[in-house]
Amino acid sequence: MSKQGPSSDAAAPAPPELSAADVRKVARLARLSIGGDEQAIERHRRELVSVLEHIGRISAIDVTGVEPQHRPLDASNRLDPDEPGPTIPREQILAAAPLAAAPFIAVPKVLADGS
Amino acid sequence: MVPDPPRELREVVAAVRSGTASAEEETRGILDRIERFDPGLNAFHEVFAEEALAAAREIDRRVAAGDDPGPLAGAVIAVKDNIATTLGRTTCSSRMLESWRSPFNATCVERLLAAGAIVVGKTNLDEFAMGSSGEHCAWGPVRNPWDPERVPGGSSAGSAAAVAAGLCHAALGSDTGGSIRQPAAFTGCVGLKPSYGRVSRYGLVAFGSSLDQVGPLTRSVADAALLLEVIGGNDRLDSTSAATDVAGIAAAAESGTGRLDGVRVGLPSEYLSDSNHPAVNESVRAAAAAMERLGATLVEVHLPLTEIGISTYYVIAPAEASSNLARFDGIRYGRRAEPRAGEDLESIYARSRGEGFGAEVQRRIMIGTYVLSAGYYDAYYRRALQVRRLIGEEFARAFTACDVLLGPTAPTPAFKLGSQRDPLSMYLCDVYTVNAPIAGICGVSVPGGFVEEDGKPLPMGLQLQAPAFAEGGLLRAAACLETALGRCPLAC
């Protein structure tokens, strides 16, 4: 982002000033191709700003000393007996992949020649 | 000739179990109606006509052989297309999963089948369950059977439209911020969002893992209770499913003599906002008066964090979505963009996701990524989780003064297709439904009468909410209200 984000105890995020470069950075972090044309970027920017302004209202709530709640019921993890169960057959996993060369899922080349 | 309206779920089950009706004939009747009405509604993405008839014949054979065919024998059920079935595809109404076939059934589907239910097809939704109108569906918008110019609500759009039009006896939906209750309200169905942990999420394609629940859309409260008993209960395949017993909910829902003596009904002043449609507020007041006549005590309660729930939800849900949807990278399943010469792996991920996800899903991934990114995590995500605790505490305080909360399910009746162009204005429609999943409590929408718009009657929904795992009391109050106000007829 073009501005340094608030520190951990900052109460109020300033009204977000999002640039086209910020939008591209968020899209890059999300591994999401949103197209390079300026109109598309501007549309994403405007929508993000309007939503961020609204969700920023949570900064008005006093949360001093309140523990974050990740799950609604604060349930703790439980352990299951370590017993083998049925698994999904390999052929079905391969059938679901966009490209397979049994017994592998085929992927594009990830290493440059000579690396 | 218009095919006859189907009988009600429990009536069909009783008749099939006793051998006085044939599951095959009941299923055929439903299939005729799908053929007649679905082209105008787009509720279904896939219909399993042959498979459903074969399953129905098997039920009939078991009845004839004297076997117990199960508590849902012959019930024809539609399943939202973000719930995994080995039959057909599971697309989440997304191009990303256009041809994906699940190698397993969701636990809720396994339990339906084991109970003798017949899965008739997969219903359309707002892509990956993100939306409140049924318009964000890669296979075209779903239409409201009461007025095809209007939306059926979302995201369980197809499930609600199918139940309201009599294209199934009941349907499964999923609710993350209102996706069962709001479409139920817009179409005149009963829609139950169970308490978090009540129903296994195994096989439900994850959107917001701390919020998502599977639940029924039905024509009556008793049907919803029956379905919850079948699909609910602990499941070792979902570590967040609760051990709390699910048996007895249907009996509790039907207990009593239709009276509400001793039941305290909380009326939060925040739920009767001036920005609601006036008919919606009148409908809530009429319901409160009806409950009072049945012996309930009305209690005024305050939930001042109601509105901030929207802001809280639209931090938490997109954050969880951006994380959950990271798995769709075009490698192991789903759509992969055509590789270009010399392209690196990251570009394949990004282009696959850009091609596969629709506009609303992309928007939520962007919001979620932003609120989780370095420098913003504490101000948005962590803070939203703190507000989440305060919202839960506020509900808990209200439930010391009352047993159930009464209010509207949505601020308005169904709106017109294309009328909510601005994403934020669509989000604001969820104001009465997001807080139940934030707090993990249960909520149900029941039909609350009609309002006429453009010469057409449009259903409105009343929402009752109760503490986590209090579905028995919730559904009993809902059943009394349903009896007092009358059931909603089929739309066609």
Active-site residue B179, yes or no?
Answer: yes
Q: Is residue B359 part of a domain?
A: yes
Specify whether B122 is catalytic: no
CA distances from A70 to A29, A75, B402 (A): 23, 10, 26
Residue of chain B minimizing CA distance to A55: B311
pLDDT per residue of chain B (492 residues) written in tens, 0 to 9: 678 888 999 999 999 999 999 999 999 999 999 999 999 999 999 999 999 999 999 999 999 999 999 999 999 999 999 999 999 999 999 999 999 999 999 999 999 999 999 999 999 999 999 999 999 999 999 999 999 999 999 999 999 999 999 999 999 999 999 999 999 999 999 999 999 999 999 999 999 999 999 999 999 999 999 999 999 999 989 989 998 889 999 998 888 778 999 999 999 999 999 999 999 999 999 999 999 999 999 999 999 999 999 999 999 999 999 999 999 999 998 999 998 888 888 999 999 999 999 999 999 999 999 999 989 999 999 999 999 999 999 999 999 999 999 999 999 999 999 998 889 999 999 999 999 999 999 999 999 999 999 999 999 999 999 999 999 999 999 999 999 999 999 999
Residue A12 pLDDT level (bands cut at 50, 70, 90) = very low
pLDDT of residue A1: 39
Name which of A11-20, A29-38, B150-159, B421-430 the model is least confident about.
Answer: A11-20
Q: Give B-chain residues touching A7 at CB under 8 angstroms.
A: 378
Q: How many domains does chain B have?
A: 2
Residue B192 domain-assigned?
Answer: yes
Q: Are residues B246 and B126 in the same domain?
A: yes
pLDDT band at A5 (very low <50, low <70, confident <90, very high): very low
Q: Are residues B242 and B316 in the same domain?
A: no
Residues 73-92 of A with CB under 8 A from B: 73, 75, 77-78, 80, 88-89, 92
Name the percent of chain A lying above pLDDT 70: 80
Taking CB atoms and an 8 Å cutoff, what residues of chain A touch B427?
51, 54
- pLDDT at position A6 is 38
User: Could you tell me if residue B317 is inside a domain?
Assistant: yes
Angle at B294 between CA B293 and CA B296, to 5 degrees: 90
Instruction: Identify the CA nearest to B314 among candidates B434, B447, B437.
Output: B434
Place of tokens 């802001």: B311
Q: What is the model's pLDDT at position A75?
A: 66
Same domain, B80 and B203: yes
Q: Which residue of B has its CA nearest to A35?
A: B354
Residue B315 resides in a domain: yes
Which residues in B lie closer than 8 A to residue A94 (C-beta atoms)?
none
> Which of B416, B377, B487 lies closest to B8 in space, CA to CA?
B487
Domain-ending residue, one of B254, B271, B291: B254
* Residue-by-residue DSSP string for B382-411: IHHHHHHHHHHHHHHHHHHH-SEEEEESSS
- Catalytic hit among B22, B155, B174, B445: B155
Same-domain pairing of B248 and B316: no
In a domain, B191, yes or no: yes
Quick one: pLDDT at residue B310? 98
pLDDT value at residue B52:
98
- Picking from A46, A55, A82, A92 by the largest number of B CB atoms within 10 A of its own CB, the best residue to mutate is A55
CA A95, A99, A100, A105 dihedral sign is: negative
Task: Indicate the pLDDT class of residue A76, thresholds 50, 70 and 90.
Answer: low
- For residue B431, the model assigns a pLDDT of 98
Comparing CA positions, the residue from B433, B444, B432 lying closest to residue B476 is B444
Nearest to B479 by CA among B273, B256, B302: B256
Q: Which of A32, A88, A110 comes nearest B350 by C-beta? A: A32
- Residue ending a domain, choose from B216, B239, B254: B254
Active site residue B193: no
Q: Which residues of B touch A77 (CB under 8 A)?
A: 239
Q: What is the pLDDT of residue B342?
A: 83
In a domain, B223, yes or no: yes
What pLDDT shows up at residue B8? Answer: 92
pLDDT given for residue A112 in this prediction = 65
More confident residue, A12 or B113: B113
Can you give the pLDDT at residue A10? 45
The reported pLDDT for the residue numbered A13 is: 54
Q: Where are the domains of chain A?
A: 20-60
Instruction: Name which of B234, B215, B213, B240 is nearest B225 in CA terms.
Output: B215
Residue range(s) defining the domain that contains residue B38: 9-254
Q: Are residues B244 and B338 in the same domain?
A: no
B331 and B250 both lie in a single domain:
no
Pair (B171, B90) in one structural domain: yes
Interface membership of A95 toward B (CB under 8 Å): yes
- Chain B positions touching A75 (Cβ under 8 A) are 197, 240, 242
So what's the pLDDT on residue A101? 93
> For position B27, which CATH number holds?
3.90.1300.10
Q: Is residue B483 part of a domain?
A: no
Cβ B380–A55 below 8 Å, yes or no?
Answer: yes
Residues of chain A contacting residue B365, judged by C-beta atoms under 8 Å apart? 30, 32
| Residue B486 pLDDT | 93
Residue in A68, A75, A97 nearest the CB of B240: A75
Q: Is B57 a domain residue?
A: yes
Judge whether A111 is closer than 8 Å to chain B, CB to CB. no
Report whether B251 contacts B473 (CB < 8 A): no
Test A7 with B378 for CB contact under 8 angstroms: yes
Same domain, B243 and B315: no
Partnered with residue A100 across adjacent β-strands are A105
Q: Rounded distance, CA B114 to CA B48, Å?
A: 18
| A27-46 residues touching B, CB cutoff 8 A | 27-35, 44
